[in-house]
Chain A
Amino acid sequence: MKKKESHLRSILIRVVYVLCLMAIWEYVARSGMLGPRSALIFPSLEQIAAAFVKNFVRGYAGTSLWIYIINSMKLLLTGLAIGIILAFIFSGISMVSYTFRKIFDFTVSICDLLPGIALLPVVIIIFGVRREVIVFLVVHAVLWPMSRNMLDGFSSTPRIYVEAGRNMGLRGMRLILGVYIPAAASYIVSGLKSGWARAWRGLISAEMIFGIASSPGIGLFINQMRTNMNNAEMYATLLVIIIIGVIVQYGILRPIEICTVRKWGMSK
């Protein structure tokens, strides 16, 4: 009962906060207090709302924002899938081979520190200006944090689980699948969270820096709005980016967490 009340209250606080922000925005927009550039920096809420609709209906260069979103998501999902699968494979092999583990651990430590966007020039030299570049950056964004978390999770698996697993006849790969991976669930979930956050940021930045005509994405879209001084559309696209982030956070990542570590009482 009490929990529900505080939950309602926290929602209420957020709603009021957002409404206040909107009111201030609208006031600044209408008062023209920032001089002649006021309308550019603060388009009115009405204009932004109209732009929001227009983004989807008319879009840019005859293409709806939907198409840009779908293009971005395709690259993002491909990259995420490859990155996650690689993280599982490499971290799994690390549990079997000591030498591999040392090498991989070292590689993860180095690459984890390297911002993907800094790699962009190198990757473009290798791949050329193609969509693979973005996939590569997404893989880079998700692979290392995911692997770091999995390696940490594996090495902190309680000995009792491993022994219980061996006791029932699990060996090698089956021990990894049956014990190490589920025991590292909370680490894997936090790896997913930070991997997603980095991948999403990396994707938008890469698309903004070089939009590929063959696969125009959200980053390209927002950049085009800026160059064309369609500021209301730019803000509307920002909203879309935020909304996608929220959907992934609360529609995908949170449920994954609730169905696994929360349900199993394994939250860190």
Chain B
Amino acid sequence: MSDTPLLKIEHLTKSYRDSSSGIEVLRDLELSVEANEFLCILGPSGCGKSTLLRCIAGFEEYEGSVKVNGREEREPGTDRFMVFQDFNQLFPWKTVLKNVTYPLSINRKGDKDEIRRLALEALEKVGLGNFANQYPHQLSGGMKQRVAIAKALALGSPIILMDEPFAALDAMTRSGLQKEVLRISESEKSTIIFITHNIQEAVILGTRILVLGQHGQILFDRKNEMERPVTPASPGYGELWEQLHQALYEGRLSSEL
């Protein structure tokens, strides 16, 4: 492992200008993420998880620094690709295939045929090869989220940011997509930062799990070395679940003070 981590966040402080109290949503946050990590972030509602991800993605202004491979990044870029929670993140005026090829052609990731091949391959990986020529409004919510993931895959973004991408889906679809993301994270060389409210989801997916408290304070940060695939029957599952639950509970208590 090299000395510079893939993603290094230093002294990250963020407050929203228009918020009434002007309090710091994130205060002096420090975090390093290594390549190929699957980092799951848990935390009580309003603790600043989405804010952290949006700072990393470059959508927000902040103090401190976010470095990718040692280089400071302040603007959005394809090296940090965001999969939003909102199903409407696809462009309705483009077909599924065009939605995937578009970022590739903007960023000149090859000639036309090459881009098409990459996009179709990514769509195959998320099981939507047959829907390439449909328009987003013809897809279900879960399928749209898969297309969004395919976009990130085709681009080959080193860091994929996911903000509760499955939160609004039913349990069945959700567990199917978890399996897909897991498979992808194991076969592709990408680093995923995944926000969730669901402890089980974090334990199943994460190779490292973080619990944030008030002001983005890190309450829990541990590698998850359980053998994959993790199921509730895996040894150590109950223990980890209990610890996370405890940390979350503390986080909630502290944010209610």
Interface residues of A (CB under 8 A from B): 158, 160-161, 163-164, 166-170, 174, 178-179, 182-183, 185, 260, 263-266
Q: Name the B residues within 8 Å of A182 (CB-CB).
A: 91, 93
Q: Which B residues are in CB contact (< 8 Å) with A164?
A: 82, 84, 89-91
Are A167 and B93 touching (Cβ within 8 A)?
Answer: no
A158, B57: Cα distance in complex, Å:
18
Q: Could you say which residues of chain B place their CB within 8 Å of the CB of A265?
A: 92, 135-138
A160-B89, A169-B107, A182-B93 as given contacts; A263 in contact with B57, CB under 8 Å: no
Cα A170 to Cα B102 with chains together (Å): 11
CB nearest neighbor in B for A158: B88
Within the assembled complex, what's the spacing in Å between the Cα atoms of A171 and B232?
46
Q: How far is the CA of A64 from the CA of B10 in the complex (A)?
A: 79
Within 8 Å CB of B107, what residues of A?
168-169
0/1 string, B148-168, CB within 8 A of A gives 1: 000100010000000000000
Number of chain B residues close to chain A: CB under 8 A: 27
Chain B 76-90 near chain A by CB (<8 Å), digits 1 or 0: 111001101010111
Q: Which residues of A contact B89 (CB under 8 A)?
A: 160-161, 164
Bound CA span A182–B76, Å:
21
Task: Pick from A161, A179, A183 the residue with the most CB of B within 10 Å.
Answer: A161
Nearest residue, chain A, Cβ from B80: A167
B42 CB to nearest chain A CB (Å):
24
Which B residues are CB-close (under 8 A) to A163?
Answer: 59, 76, 82, 84
Interface residues of B in 106-161 (CB under 8 A from A): 106-107, 135-138, 151, 155
User: Contacts A161-B91, A264-B137 hold; do A168 and B86 have CB atoms under 8 A apart?
Assistant: no
Chain B residue nearest in CB terms to A168:
B103
Bound complex: CA of A252 vs CA of B69, how far in Å?
53
- CA of A207 to CA of B93 in the docked complex: distance in angstroms? 40
Are B88 and A167 neighbours in the complex by a CB distance under 8 Å?
no
Q: Which of A169, A170, A174, A266 contacts B93 (CB 8 A)?
A: A266
For residue A91, give the distance in angstroms from its CB to the closest CB of chain B: 18
Contacting residue for A167 out of B76, B90, B136, B138, CB 8 A: B76
Q: Which residues of B contact A266 (CB under 8 A)?
A: 92-93, 137
A169: chain B residues within 8 A (beta carbon) = 76-78, 103, 106-107
Question: Is B84 in contact with A160, judged by CB distance below 8 angstroms?
Answer: yes
A-B contact pairs, 17 of them (CB 8 A): A163-B59, A164-B82, A166-B59, A166-B75, A168-B78, A168-B107, A169-B76, A169-B106, A169-B107, A178-B102, A178-B106, A182-B91, A263-B135, A264-B92, A264-B137, A265-B135, A266-B137
Given A264-B135, A265-B138, A168 contacting B92 (CB threshold 8 A): no
Contacts of B90 in A (CB 8 A): 164
Interface pair A170/B137, CB less than 8 Å apart: no
Q: Which A-B residue pairs are the 5 nearest by beta carbons?
A: A265-B137, A168-B103, A182-B93, A166-B76, A264-B92
Let me know if B91 and A167 touch, CB within 8 A.
no
Tell me which residues across on chain B come within 8 A of A260, comparing CB atoms. Answer: 93
**A161→B93 CA distance, assembly (Å):** 11
Chain A residue nearest to B76 in the complex (CB): A166
Please report the C-alpha to C-alpha distance between residue A169 and residue B76 in the assembled complex, in whole angstroms: 7
Docked pose: A245 CA to B86 CA in angstroms: 42
**Which A-chain residue is minimally distant from B88 (CB atoms)?**
A160
User: Which of B84, B90, B93 counts the most chain A CB atoms within 10 A?
Assistant: B93
* Distance to closest chain A CB from B165 (angstroms): 13
- Name which residue of chain A comes closest to B85, CB basis: A160
* Least distance between B79 CB and chain A CB atoms (Å): 10
- Across-interface contacts of A174 in B (CB, < 8 A): 106
A263 cross-chain contacts in B, Cβ below 8 A: 135
Once the chains are docked, how many angstroms separate the CA of A260 from the CA of B91? 13
List chain B residues, Cβ under 8 A from A160. 84, 86, 88-89
Q: How far is the CB of B80 from chain A (nearest CB, A)?
A: 8
Given contacts A260-B93, A265-B138, are A170 and B106 in contact (CB under 8 A)?
Answer: yes
A44 to B255, CA, bound (A): 85
Docked pose: A266 CA to B93 CA in angstroms: 8
B209 to chain A, nearest CB (A): 25
- Greatest chain B CB density within 10 A among A160, A168, A263, A266 is at A168
Q: Which residues of B contact A183 (CB under 8 A)?
A: 91, 93
Q: State A43–B92 Cα separation when bound (angstroms).
A: 53
In angstroms, Cα B75 to Cα A266, docked, is 30
List, in ascending order, chain B residues with CB within 8 A of A179's CB.
91
| Closest CB in chain B relative to A6 CB, distance in Å | 23
- Indicate if the CB atoms of A168 and B57 lie closer than 8 Å: no
Nearest CB to that of B92 among chain A residues?
A: A264
Other contacts beyond A166-B75, A182-B91, A266-B92: 4, CB < 8 A: A160-B84, A166-B58, A264-B135, A265-B138
